[in-house]
Chain A
Amino acid sequence: MTTQARFPAASRLLHWLMAPMILAMLFIGVGMAVSVSARYDLLVSIHRPLGFAIFVLCIIRIVNRFIHPPPELPDTVPSMQRYAAKASHIVLYALMFIMPLVGWGMLSAARYPIVLYGPLRLPPILPHDLTLYARLRDLHTDLAYLFFATFLAHFAAALYHGLVRRDGVFDSMASWQRSSIGILRTVPASMQDSTYIAEPNADRYQADR
């Protein structure tokens, strides 16, 4: 059985800390952009500090990625999928970094006070300019949809690795067990015979190599 190397603990921690933050951010964003309800103010006042927190964590995460490079994908992953994985990760990192900056910039151009919490505020980073605000506001929406689409692709690919290919890629990020054998790859002994051969797994790839 091949053992797919896991992501370092710091990388897994950052990933699982930021994943719910980013998902919450996308849902809060799309909700507050249409809402006229009493929740609007609450959503906006979560969106600003959460966005800033993601920006700070994103910088830490980029530094962490240089210190702890991610494990290579297994050789069994076809080159098209490798390319797609690489491209989608670049897009995700770029969006994590750019989205908060666009938000900060657009609030600056509109001269809204950028309140994080109570007296904690961010300074404006762009001049007071309506046209600039309009461009950045539209860009913020477009990038949010791109972010959500890329997240869906990332999530689908993760499940594909975990449920269909079972090549350890899912566990390399998802598993918190000490051993490299993840929950999804732990199968009852009774299934580890011919009935299980139909399921492609790392052993099959190994045998076919």
Chain B
Amino acid sequence: MKPVWFEAAIVINPGTLVRLGAIGAVMLSVAAAFAYTGGALSPLRLTQDRMMAAFQDANGSHAGFRRNHAKGVCVTGWFEASGQAAAFSKAAVFKSGRVPVVGRFALAGGMPFQADAPATVRSMALRFLPPGGEEWRTGMNNIPVFPVNSARGFYEQLLASSPDPATGKPDPTRMRAFLAAHPETVRALALIKKRQVTSGFANSSFNSLNTFRFVDAAGASVPVRWSVVPVQPFAADSAEGSAEGDKNYLFDDLIAQIAQHPQQWRLIVTIGQADDPTNDATLPWPEGRRHIDAGTVTIDHASSEDSGRCTAVNYDPLVLPPGIEPSDDPLLSARSAVYARSFTLRAEEEHEKPPSAVTTREVQAGGKL
């Protein structure tokens, strides 16, 4: 053991001071690199937390709910694969046979108690659980293309549509400025506006919007998009339910229809060609692409989110089985990241979550209360 003065002598030695300084500089550099990687030194970088803050600005704070597509119901059923998609993808889910499905129907937007309305974007999310542990999750919307093609675009659109604190309403000049900077959104919104809105969830088509890749057993890959197309006949939206003041009319109709008869959709896979856009979800694919009928989704049971099996599931679009891969669409990574953050936040808030808009009692009453 050395006396204290000896230790002190080491420290006050000029050469030692330089060396200690060098060690300090190395430590500072490593810590700064770590802070930079974690976004702490770049306040303008678009991060998961900034995206969450934008959702809160747009929709208010709703503890325990998904940050987007907050209002929904859980459903279960099965997928009966035709076997036709197995030539393009080695995924077990496409081999002919029956696979259980846990799904969720929802309305776009972060307001869990918003009134159902025809123009609100509808979504269907599915979790396929084939034997052997491969899993496929997909979230689809009833619009033909997505309004934005990047995480930054999504964020700016969210900010532009957020209510102005002074008026409580979105500022039209901000939306005009956003659209002026995003011609791809203007083109996409024109296509979205032209879509035929149906009378309910059960006769809506839902589209993957993003491009993925199917990989076959030999390793060959093709770009794909998919849709679920209703077997139920088309009927135009009459908005009768909303006129009668039923805030949940779309969900109530769906619950009643499922209780009456299982509802079915065909899973149609569109096979893209080499020059079809894969990295831009605002662009539709040209007509005349090959369509594969991969099988039928049957939904025979609905339940409230308060007791349903979809509630603890994050419908992350990058939960994919071998045989389905992400494309170069940057939105896929962004969706995966943002969904994961939203999932973590609502898991943390689980104990403060109020009952959902569509309650267990409402579902048990067959959708009419």
Residues of chain A at the chain B interface (Cβ within 8 Å): 26-27, 30-41, 44, 75-76, 78-79, 110-113, 118-119, 121, 123, 128-131, 133-134, 137-138, 148, 152, 155-156, 159-160, 163-165, 198-200, 205, 208
Contact = CB atoms under 8 A, between A and B. Distances in A.
Contact of A33 (B1, B34, B48, B330): B48
Contact of B38 (A33, A118, A160): A33
Contacts of A119: 134, 322
26 contacts: A31-B37, A33-B48, A34-B38, A37-B330, A39-B333, A41-B333, A44-B336, A78-B2, A110-B312, A110-B314, A110-B343, A110-B347, A113-B134, A113-B135, A123-B133, A131-B347, A131-B350, A133-B344, A148-B34, A155-B27, A159-B22, A160-B23, A163-B23, A164-B16, A164-B20, A164-B23
B7 interface: yes
B172 interface: no
Nearest to B18: A163
Among all A-B residue pairs, the 9 with the closest Cβ atoms: A134-B347, A30-B38, A34-B47, A34-B39, A40-B333, A38-B330, A130-B347, A134-B348, A163-B19
B27 A41 contact: no
B260 interface: no
Given A130-B350, A200-B10, A76 B2 contact: yes
A134 B351 CA distance: 11
Contacts of A37: 151, 330, 333-334
Contacts of A130: 311-312, 346-347, 350
Given A27-B37, A35-B47, A137-B347, A164 B314 contact: no
B10 A36 contact: no
A196 B336 CA distance: 59
B217 interface: no
Contact of A199 (B7, B15, B33, B343): B15
A165 B10 contact: yes
A131 B38 CA distance: 25
Interface string B171-204: 0000000000000000000000000000000000
Interface of B: 1-2, 6-7, 9-10, 13, 15-16, 19-20, 22-23, 26-27, 30-31, 33-34, 37-39, 45-49, 51, 133-135, 151, 311-314, 316, 318-319, 322, 326, 328, 330, 332-334, 336-338, 343-344, 346-348, 350-351
Contacts of B311: 130
A140 to B, nearest CB: 10
B27 A156 contact: yes
Contacts of B313: 111
Contacts of B314: 110, 112
Considering residues B312, B338, B347, which has the most beta carbons from chain A within 10 angstroms of its beta carbon? Answer: B347
A26 B10 contact: no
Nearest to A165: B10
A40 B337 contact: yes
A121 B321 CA distance: 11
Given A34-B48, A111-B312, A131-B347, A159 B23 contact: yes
Nearest to A133: B347
B334 A40 contact: yes
B37 A134 contact: no
A106 B27 CA distance: 31
Given A31-B38, A200-B9, 18 more contacts: A27-B34, A33-B48, A34-B47, A34-B48, A35-B337, A36-B48, A36-B338, A41-B326, A111-B312, A113-B135, A121-B133, A123-B133, A130-B312, A133-B347, A155-B30, A163-B19, A164-B20, A199-B16
